[in-house]
Chain A
């Protein structure tokens, strides 16, 4: 009889021990968690999160020659609305996107589908198509500028062989933007191809086998099976390409000279941001351009999110 209370005592003592153990374990969990995220969170806060706030603040200021700035309210935003150069940059960027994103995706799907077939030399092709992806845009811009050279460039020489006088690829205001677009498409195919290829490999073989039994031709298979099942990947790639294309800078900066006649018809929004921020020391206005860029990218992403319901198939 005496043993019974003793046992419960032991039990409750155990329970206390267990729960205090759980408590210290929890406390040690918290300790480690905060310690482990601290460097990254601190770095992100100092170099990324707080700067977002600061950039908003800067967008309401005007800067003087010696780095001093004063609050000017909505002036920069009013200026955004009236800035013809910005409007032109917006147009340039839009044209750049309208051509690079769909054509780039289209070509890389074709390459990915071909490389997904049972053919020889797949890995060699894959490596070659991937070359531009690992190459720095500054170097890519240089070699293409050389190919585009109006007097001694390869393209105009080849055109002259068939009796055509080649254009001024990078200095004619009507053509330069499209020359840049071609380079952008060329250098992006390998990247998207790899992503599409891994998407294609994720499509179960049984769909194709079933189609074969039904006697479907390759074109039907492509449009009825491959494309719909690849649509989540296409959606992802199109969002990422769009965001990337919106921020085009390197190619334009390297290919179009500062005093080029084609500058106005090629400069992108980010190029204009760079100009105002670091060349003209018009940092307040540059900050406002950055805010505009953020707003446009968020809106476009939101629109795509809504539109995806119409064409993206999830299983």
Chain B
């Protein structure tokens, strides 16, 4: 008995040991980012490295805002993320409901077409999408990022899975009460598909916030730039001034970090759902 208890204890000790090393590897780069962002340039290039800066240089953050319109970048990214997420949640769930719960001619073919989009790597759409933006005169505008991002084959597919799993009786009852399909969708089905909606919402939020290539291609003026692209141009200007670069990086990830701290469970479950389906 005593021996097995010891064995058990040493096993949990080993588990914690491994997990703590891994967790440190995950967290330390972020810590280093924050510490560096508060150093003077001289401190940042000192050898051996200064761990804790003597005076916290909050001025570095001010400088980031002064050098680039960082508030504008943040505003752009928030607008793009919110509108894309809200738009996708509504449009995808609408289409997903129809694909899952209504029989209509051409349903399978249309759904197959949507699935094709899922199979094709994003770079295949990129050039023609860019040409569309040129033709519409949408380069350097927020809608260049928002509008194509409103439609998602992935989201439609994901939510369709959710709607398909709901019992048929609910719908029949609502129909006997004289509800039309939109009312059934809105009042009965949507509340029941909440886990799916949260998952898609988290996924789209993360994606829109972090995306680099498309926003960088269509929006190169500071007026319509997003944070990701903004970081790239910050790097172009301050090649080696790491306190400034780290301050910019931390500012860019801070809103998502705060959101994550408040919605940890939803984030992690949402990713498990989008990945597992």
Using a CB–CB cutoff of 8 Å, the interface residues on chain A facing chain B are 28-30, 32-34, 36-37, 39-41, 43-52, 54-55, 58, 67, 110-111, 114-115, 117, 119, 121, 123, 125-140, 142-144, 146-147, 149, 151-152, 154, 157, 186, 189-191, 194-195, 197-199, 233, 236-237, 240, 243, 246-247, 249-250, 253-254, 270, 273-274, 277-278, 283, 286-287, 289-291, 293-294, 297-298, 301
Contact B268 A36 (CB under 8 A): no
For residue B273, which residue of chain A has the nearest CB?
Answer: A198
Once bound together, how far apart are the Cα atoms of A27 and B143, in whole Å?
A: 36
Least distance between B190 CB and chain A CB atoms (Å): 12
Q: Considering the chains assembled together, what is the distance between the CA atoms of A138 and B230 in angstroms?
A: 9
**Interface of A, helix, strand, loop or mixed by DSSP:** helix
Contacts of B65 in A (CB 8 A): none
Residue of A nearest to B228 (CB): A138
Smallest Cβ distance from A127 to chain B, in angstroms? 6
Q: List the A side residues contacting B27 at CB < 8 Å.
A: 128, 131
Cβ of B154 to closest chain A Cβ, rounded Å? 11
Rounded to whole angstroms, the CA-CA distance of A128 and B227 in the bound complex is 23
**What would be 26 A-B contacts, judged by CB atoms less than 8 Å apart?**
A29-B103, A34-B104, A39-B94, A40-B91, A41-B113, A43-B91, A44-B117, A47-B132, A47-B147, A48-B120, A130-B268, A134-B253, A134-B260, A135-B256, A136-B252, A139-B33, A139-B250, A143-B249, A195-B272, A249-B213, A253-B213, A273-B126, A274-B213, A290-B124, A294-B120, A301-B119
With contacts defined as CB atoms under 8 Å apart, how many contacts are there between chain A and chain B in the complex?
281
From A51, A140, A273, A287, B129 is in contact (CB under 8 Å) with: A51
From known contacts A58-B128, A131-B26, infer whether A40 and B268 are also in contact, taking CB-CB under 8 Å: no
**Interface pair B49/A48, CB less than 8 Å apart:** no
Which listed residue (B125, B181, B260) contacts A36, Cβ 8 A? B181
Residue of B nearest to A45 (CB): B113
Chain A neighbourhood of B275, CB < 8 A: 191, 194-195, 236-237, 240
Any A CB within 8 A of the CB of B150: yes
Q: Which residues of B are at the interface with A, using a C-beta cutoff of 8 A? A: 12, 15-16, 18-19, 22-23, 25-27, 29-30, 32-33, 36, 44-49, 91-92, 94-95, 97-99, 102-105, 107, 110, 113-114, 116-117, 119-132, 134, 147-148, 150-153, 156, 180-182, 185, 206, 209-210, 212-213, 217, 227-229, 231-232, 235, 242, 245-246, 248-250, 252-253, 256-257, 260, 264, 267-268, 271-272, 275-276
Determine if B253 and A139 form an interchain contact, defined as CB atoms under 8 angstroms apart. Answer: yes
B102 to chain A, nearest CB (A): 4
Known: A44-B153, A138-B252, A250-B213. A131 touches B30 (CB 8 A): yes
Chain B residues positioned under 8 Å from A143 (CB to CB) = 29-30, 32-33, 246, 249
Residue pair B47, A152 in contact (C-beta under 8 Å) = yes
CB-CB nearest in chain A for B31: A143
B104 touches A55 (CB 8 A): no
Query: Are A37 and B235 in contact, with the CB atoms below 8 A?
Result: no
Query: Across the interface, which residues of B come within 8 angstroms of A32, CB to CB?
Result: 98, 102, 180-182
C-alpha gap A297/B124 in the complex (Å): 12
**Interchain nearest-CB distance for B149 vs A (Å):** 9
Q: Which residues of B contact A110 (CB under 8 A)?
A: 18
Contact A152 B123, CB 8 Å, known A67-B134, A136-B256: no
Q: Write the nearest CB–CB distance from A301 to chain B, whole angstroms.
A: 8
Pick from A40, A135, A142, A240: contact of B92, CB below 8 A: A40
Report the bound CA distance from A154 to B36 in whole Å.
11
| Cα of A41 to Cα of B106 in the assembled complex, Å | 12
**A49 x B113 contact (CB < 8 A):** yes
**Chain A residue at minimum C-beta to C-beta distance from B230:** A138
- List chain A residues, Cβ under 8 A from B153: 44, 48
Knowing A136-B252, A157-B47 are in contact, say whether A41-B268 is a contact too (CB < 8 A). Answer: no
Q: Is the CB of B113 within 8 A of A44?
A: yes
A40 to B94, CA, bound (A): 8
Residue contact A152 to B127, C-beta cutoff 8 Å: no
